[in-house]
Amino acid sequence: MNLPYKVLGVYKPKIWNARKIGNDLTKITKDFGLVPLRDKDSRYEKASWHDSKLHAHLRRRTLIKPEGAQWHQDGDFGHVTMRHFLVLWSTNTPTELKANGVIYQPKPFEIILVDNLACFHRRPPDAPRKRWFFRQRVHII
């Protein structure tokens, strides 16, 4: 089966600290040779951890915004270029992806790489308020 994402690895934090987790995950993406997107997007400055130079953020709690639960591609709300890859990670109820009418969901703790334009994604409808969620936007590889 061809998945709409590539699993880069599994990350299970030993220390539950937002800065530590965010730094660990962005080090992993750097080790894979992924280059952070250079678009400006300041919407994540209130996340538990963020680094605007690395175009990455980590949240401890799920935002209850309706657009996150709808099928979308990043940038279709007008904040960033749509032509990029996403690196996603979550402790539970990972992001759902839809390609060719089929819904996929990675396993908890998997770090995945997704072509933003190759499929749609959303926050799962059953996502609990408490979950660690990481997103980094990187250049097309």
Q: What is the CATH number of the domain that holds 39?
A: 2.60.120
What are the DSSP E strand ranges found in the chain?
5-10, 49-51, 56-61, 85-90, 96-99, 102-104, 110-115, 120-122, 130-138
The pairing of beta strand 5-10 with beta strand 56-61: unpaired
Residue type, 127: A
* Total number of domains in the chain: 1
Residues paired with 7 in a beta bridge? 112
Query: What is the residue range of 127's domain?
Result: 5-138
Render each residue's pLDDT in the chain as its tens digit; 141 residues. 689 999 999 999 999 999 999 999 999 999 999 999 876 655 666 788 988 889 899 999 876 665 567 898 887 666 678 889 999 999 999 999 999 999 999 999 999 999 999 999 998 988 888 999 999 999 986
Q: pTM score, two decimals?
A: 0.91
